[in-house]
């Protein structure tokens, strides 16, 4: 695993009213397993987020073998422990002005408005840091709470990819959201 001190965003700390956004560390393994191994958490996420979520899955994530932790991938810390993550995947080449947003939060913290505030604080940091003009996100059709988080943060629904994802319970549409910033 790359040492946290060698990662480009290792020193980032975004302080919110009731949360901190910071780099993931090996010390987060126990908290990651507690919050990620919940069948409700991955229902709106990609297959890179498995269930059950095993110790091996957590170790692979923290080692950077699931997502590139050298990118702007931050842990969400609430009440002193990592309980979710927020990140963008920057575009390349002619799409370098944009990025795709993703996030998850442990179920214990759902329904309290945390994610709306977390996304706002993260965007306030990452948009200027990466000089982004566009951020987009995809939301599974059965996840209206995530769509509300985006709408409350100024995202507009731009379309729908019908039957784009096959989950255990069948095909699902992806709702596409985007937000623009001027340079």
Checking if the pLDDT of 4 tops 50, the result is no
Strands 81-90 and 20-23: unpaired
pLDDT tens digits, 131-166:
999 999 999 999 999 999 999 999 999 999 999 999
**39 contacts 53 by C-beta, under 8 angstroms:** no
pLDDT for the residue 45: 86
Residue 72 has a CB neighbour count (10 Å cut-off) of 22
- Rg (the chain; Cα; Å): 16
Alpha helical stretches, state H, 19-89: 29-36, 55-62
- Rounded CA-CA distance 78/145 in Å is 19
Q: Give the phi and the psi of residue 146 in degrees, each rounded to 5.
A: -70, -40
**DSSP code of 95?**
G
pTM of structure: 0.93
pLDDT for the residue 183: 62
Please report, to the nearest 10 degrees, the dihedral formed by the alpha carbons of residues 172, 174, 35, 51 taken in order. 40
């Amino acid at each position: 695993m790359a040492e946290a001190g060698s990662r480009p965003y290792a020193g980032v700390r975004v302080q919110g009213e009731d949360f901190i956004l910071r780099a993931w560390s090996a010390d987060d393994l126990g908290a990651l397993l507690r919050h990620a191994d919940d069948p409700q958490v991955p229902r709106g996420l990609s297959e890179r987020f498995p269930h059950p979520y095993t110790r091996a899955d957590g170790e692979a994530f923290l080692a950077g073998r699931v997502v590139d932790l050298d990118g702007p991938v931050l842990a969400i810390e609430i009440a002193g422990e990592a309980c979710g993550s927020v990140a963008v995947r920057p575009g390349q080449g002619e799409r370098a002005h944009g990025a795709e947003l993703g996030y998850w939060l442990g179920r214990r913290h759902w329904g309290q408005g945390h994610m709306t505030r977390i996304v706002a604080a993260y965007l306030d940091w990452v948009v200027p840091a990466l000089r982004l003009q566009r951020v987009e996100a995809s939301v599974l059709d059965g996840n209206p709470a995530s769509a509300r988080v985006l709408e409350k943060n100024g995202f507009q629904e731009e379309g729908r990819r019908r039957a784009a994802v096959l989950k255990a319970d069948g095909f699902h549409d992806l709702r596409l959201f985007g937000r623009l910033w001027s340079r």
